[in-house]
Amino acid sequence: MKIAAYVDDNECLASPYHDGRLTVYDNTSGAWKPIRDVGLRIRADMRLADVKTAVRQAVAEMDGCSVFVSATTTGLVNAVLQEELGFHTWKSGGACLEQLDVVAAKEAELAATPPAPVPLEATAFGRKRCCGSQPAMLSPRRASAAPISLARGADGSSRVNLIEALENDASGNSRDVLWPILTEGAFSQLEILCAHVPRWFAGALEELVLEAEYRTVREGVLAVVSRKH
């Protein structure tokens, strides 16, 4: 089995948004051994398209690996791996080699368990492990979300943290949270902080005669929405 891990100079799992390297490990010999270091450098000022290109180029060098573990399961890197490239992504911490057997065991459990239907926006492949504890599957999100309040500026601009909203309300998905805000249109400019741009988002903007500019930030993507001129 092959597992790709993002690690720091101390061989501990790290976030792909921090300094480190992407290493592919293989246990064909009975023990985990690094077989390839892959170039992946993500900067906070990179454009959305450039991040996607960097991730795809890295995957092309992974020798068919489709499992990724790092210190986070949020952000654009994980979103591209999960939703566009079919990866299973895991969150863990501590020494990398100590976590690989645990991830492999959970992967075996997944392979032996029939998949349950989940909403499109559910974190179907999100896994979490803290040091000293077993990994736990994140619960699928249900199809409704409680309304959230917007942070409003004096100039009529508004801001919503979609990442925080979904973390605080496990019943939510991105469309349930954002659609009422977009259709109400009570903003001159709306900033949306999200781990990645939802697939339905571009179509919704077109339908509502809105447009957006995208900026890559450490947490993922900042979408700045305004009315088309």
Low-confidence residues in the chain, pLDDT < 70: 44, 114-150, 154-156, 169-172
Q: Which CATH class is domain 2-137?
A: alpha beta
pLDDT given for residue 188 in this prediction: 87
Domain boundaries defined on the chain: 2-137, 151-227
Helix, coil or strand: residue 163: helix
Residues whose CB falls within 8 Å of the CB of residue 84, separated by 6 or more in sequence, listed in order = 52
The backbone torsions φ and ψ at residue 91, rounded to the nearest 5 degrees and listed phi first, read: -110, 130
pLDDT given for residue 148 in this prediction: 59
Give the HSE-up count for residue 15: Cα atoms under 13 Å, Cβ half-sphere: 12
Helix, strand, coil percentages (3-state) for the chain, rounded to 5, are: 30, 30, 45
d(CA 100, CA 28): 13
74-107: pLDDT as tens digits: 777 887 888 788 899 898 999 999 999 999 998 9
**Whole-Å CA distances, 129 to 50, 68, 89, 99:** 30, 13, 12, 9
How much is the pTM? 0.59
Amino acid at the residue 9? D
pLDDT given for residue 95 in this prediction: 94
pLDDT given for residue 189 in this prediction: 92
